[in-house]
Structure 1
Amino acid sequence: MTIRSRKNSKHELEDGQLEKTGVHEQSDIRGDEGNIAILLFLYLLQGIPLGLCSAIPMILQNRHVSYKQQAEFSFVQWPFSLKLLWAPVVDAIYFQKFGRRKTWLIPTQYLMGLFMLYLSGHVETWLNNDSQGPNIGLLTVLFFSLNVLAATQDIVVDGWALTMLKRKNVGYASTCNSVGQTAGYFLGYVLFIALESPEFCNGYLRSTSSDEGIVTLPGFLYFWGWIFICCTTFVAIFKHEKAEQNNQTNDLFEDIKQSYKLLWCTMKLPTIKTTALILLTAKIGFSACDAVSGLKLVDAGVPKEKVALLAVPLIPLQIVLPLAISRYTSGPRPMDVFLKAMPYRLLFGLLAALLVWVTPLFVQNGVVPIYYIFILLGIYVFYQIAASSMFVASMAFFAKVSDPAVGGTYMTFLNTLCNLGGIWPSTAALWFVDTLTWRQCSIDSENDCSTLIESEQCETAGKCVTLLDGFYIESIVCLIIGFLWFRWGKRKINYLQSRPMSQWKVVQRS
């Protein structure tokens, strides 16, 4: 077993910069083409379970689960925000002969493949319990476990990217992350939802109607389970890691202790403390739009496959945009792009809420007018441009300031804070939708339908009428919080970008 404490040579490139002269070297991907392709594919595999975890809520929404149940299922996204708990173990313990990253990557991806094969044989039973409805608790535990494995894979790939690419090309790691995850997310969410829908398949892909889609959830899981197994075997055999200079110790517990000590030292850096506060609060303003708007469109009558297929025209944009943005984030101030995009994302989030409000006027019996699709697509395009700009800028900033002497733990720590800053507001937004919604029974003004028992009592002879949807209250509150945060966060981010690289380093090198 091995633990690292690397000492760089005087002229070693760090963040594309010569330490002694402070001159930035121009990036050049020649010689790194194969490594970039491998990183892209590994991030694509990572995006498959992420896409599935976005597809399941759409399926559940058609089964009329409550928003609090949706909030419960949203915990499947939390492993990416909790991976810091085991990231130091992944970074510290490995078999040197097998490879520092492959020690974890190979067994993790094999387990993901086997887990998906197991899920393929049972998920329909848990999803379609006619007597009690979907088993939300069990589904949450199962997909949470799958995402624990995906988060572990993310730790490994983030760390490997820092050494697989030449130091002057490390900025492309964020591009591989964005493009690869986008492609995998598209396959696991958009393509799956479309091919799983009988209406879409009957309308566009079949000459003879059927009650099932071309793809089923069990079949999709079975297919990708084998893809994981086959591709992991290929990487295990044909991809070799670069040798790293390390101080070795045979004390396993000392390895782990040292790794957590480095993590603690990272957390104590003043620059990291400020960064953590920024990352944990930056996405509050977007939470209502990100977590609730898509489900509200389904509630308003838009078929789930049409909501998912909105991403199809954006695929070329989502692939090209990170490549274009990386030109502006590869310099010394990548977060300038983040700050420029944030106000637009807040405003288009409000427009999305307004569109949800008027949707019932245009959509009747699942028939969506073409002009409505273009309006929805336009809002979605501009919102995604802003979101992608902020994401790529953040990833480039993380790659720029990460200390390679700490390995993947530093990069994973920053990514974890970024993920946690997005997931906890989303879970909270889902949870409070029902609480903030004002309802009243059509036959009993004293019954506010606030509990399941009251709703059942009302629906025996009447129905629960929504007087004010909590989604709109959340949207306004989030917009106000977002712009207040922007005034504060802009000063803090500019301050962080002005800090010298020495203030980001945990292990000082001579």
Structure 2
Amino acid sequence: MRARCVEKKIFARVSFIMKFFDIITATALVRFTRKNSLITFLYAYPFYMLATCSNGLMLMFAEQRVADGYILPALMGVNLATLLAHHGVYLSSQGFFYYIADENMGGVYMTLLNSLFNFGTMWVDTAALKTIGVMDRDLELDEDYCKRYQNGTDIYDPTETPFTGWDSFYYMCMFSIVAGSIWYAVFFKKIKQLQKTPVEEFRLTKNKKLLTDEK
């Protein structure tokens, strides 16, 4: 986005405003993710993929939105959609972990599940950013290119943009959609079936030694 002439102050404004939406959406979605957590997850997951990859469209038209002065509401819309989808996925998974957590193991079990969930998501973001960095390492921009939009009089000309062809971010979005869709198709029935599994099936059985027995 910075290379598309989006100034840092725009990101600061979006980040500040989204703090309020973050609290509001998280509070509102908690009640929907407690009873049918995995069903909520199955609905939120495809929306999360689309919302995340909508950033690709935002990136494609970012410079044009800067030129016409609508970059702030455009970023707000994309970030709000992504935030809603992210809360739907995260809160539903946490709701399921809370549902199956065994009281005999206290907070250890819940912490372990949460740690595994975070580990399984954060490395994907890091690997994606590293990949984009390698693909764009030879891209050089004119330092004065974005100054044309600072006075608000210059008009966006697609023939003058330094970005031609497909950006590496677009390839990452396409790969994410394909990989995510395959994963969704493979695990959809299994995840849906877990929602119907009695909570007792996730509990420690008499054949397994309790942690308290070892003390």
- Shorter-chain TM-score: which interval? 0.7 to 0.9
Aligned-residue sequence identity (percent) comes to 26
Q: C-alpha displacement at 1:315, in angstroms?
A: 3.2
Distance 1:405 1:318 in 2: 33
Give the residue type in structure 2 aligned to 1:357. M
Higher percent of residues as helix: 2
Aligned positions of 1:187-226 closer than 5 A: none
1:374 and 2:78 matched = no
1:478 and 2:197 matched = no
Choose 1 or 2 for highest CA Rg: 1
2:27 alignment partner in structure 1: 323
1:431 alignment partner in structure 2: 130
Q: Which one of 178, 189, 193 corresponds to residue 491 of structure 1?
A: 189
Distance 1:485 1:415 in 2: 20
2:87 alignment partner in structure 1: 388
Distance 2:98 2:139 in 1: 52
Q: C-alpha displacement at 1:408, in angstroms?
A: 1.8
Q: Which moved more, 1:319-328 or 1:464-473?
A: 464-473
**How many residues are aligned here?**
187
Q: Which one of 1, 4, 7 corresponds to residue 303 of structure 1?
A: 7
Distance 2:22 2:139 in 1: 43
User: Higher RCO, 1 or 2 (CA under 8 Å, sep at least 6)?
Assistant: 2
Distance 2:61 2:47 in 1: 21
Other structure's SS at 2:61 match: helix
Q: Which runs of 5+ in 1 are unaligned?
A: 1-296, 443-463
Q: How has the CA–CA distance of structure 1 residues 439 and 499 changed in structure 2, closer, same or farther, with 3 Å as cutoff?
A: same
Q: Which runs of 5+ in 2 are unaligned?
A: 142-161, 211-215
TM-score by length of 1: 0.34
Distance 1:502 1:362 in 2: 54
Other structure's SS at 1:302 match: coil
Superposition CA RMSD, Å: 2.7
Distance 2:19 2:139 in 1: 43
Q: How has the CA–CA distance of structure 1 residues 465 and 322 changed in structure 2, closer, same or farther, with 3 Å as cutoff?
A: closer
Q: How has the CA–CA distance of structure 1 residues 466 and 409 changed in structure 2, closer, same or farther, with 3 Å as cutoff?
A: farther
Q: C-alpha displacement at 1:379, in angstroms?
A: 1.6
Q: Are the equivalent residues in 2 in contact too, given 1:438–1:466 (CA < 8 A)?
A: no
1:314 and 2:18 matched = yes
Q: C-alpha displacement at 1:478, in angstroms?
A: 0.7
Q: Are the equivalent residues in 2 in contact too, given 1:402–1:410 (CA < 8 A)?
A: yes
TM-score by length of 2: 0.76
Q: C-alpha displacement at 1:468, in angstroms?
A: 4.5
1:346 alignment partner in structure 2: 49
Give the residue type in structure 1 aligned to 2:201. Q
Q: C-alpha displacement at 1:507, in angstroms?
A: 5.7
Q: C-alpha displacement at 1:314, in angstroms?
A: 3.1
Q: Are the equivalent residues in 2 in contact too, given 1:403–1:506 (CA < 8 A)?
A: yes
Distance 1:386 1:320 in 2: 14
1:223-257 residue CA offsets vs partner (Å, 9 max, x unmatched): xxxxxxxxxxxxxxxxxxxxxxxxxxxxxxxxxxx
Q: How has the CA–CA distance of structure 1 residues 321 and 363 changed in structure 2, closer, same or farther, with 3 Å as cutoff?
A: closer
Q: Are the equivalent residues in 1 in contact too, given 2:45–2:89 (CA < 8 A)?
A: yes
Aligned positions of 1:228-243 closer than 5 A: none
1:280-319 residue CA offsets vs partner (Å, 9 max, x unmatched): xxxxxxxxxxxxxxxxx12322223321321333333322
